[in-house]
Copies of this chain bind each other. A is one copy, B any other.
């Protein structure tokens, strides 16, 4: 179990749920499609994750009054509290990982993964 996964298990959420929460906290209210883009998740996965976060009262959802197909998802005060209580530890753990592999190598890895991801998108469009 990764150290970050350990920490999150203690507060009862998964890595993806944490990821979605952080996106909502940083970017403000969003509709599911945009959350999925930012989190690199497919919509069926995101649907389930939002249902879990909703049950835990970490997010709230309203129908978009301008387009009733859409939702507006926003983090709750309780969700913000959960982030505030764990962000420092999370950042610290990420720093340790970056240190162990090396800052430059870490950046390179992220670049390569993004490049691979971009390529995957192109292939889909044919």
A2 touches B126 (CB 8 A): no
Mostly, the A contact residues are helix
Binary contact track A82-126/B, C-beta < 8 Å → 1, others 0: 000000001100100100110001001100110110011111111
Residue of B nearest to A94 (CB): B126
Interface size class of A (residues with CB under 8 A): 20 to 34
Task: Give chain A interface residues in 20-35, CB to chain B under 8 Å.
Answer: 22
A112 touches B115 (CB 8 A): no
Residue of B nearest to A2 (CB): B122
Q: Which residues of A contact B (CB under 8 A)?
A: 1-5, 15, 18-19, 22, 90-91, 94, 97, 100-101, 105, 108-109, 112-113, 115-116, 119-126
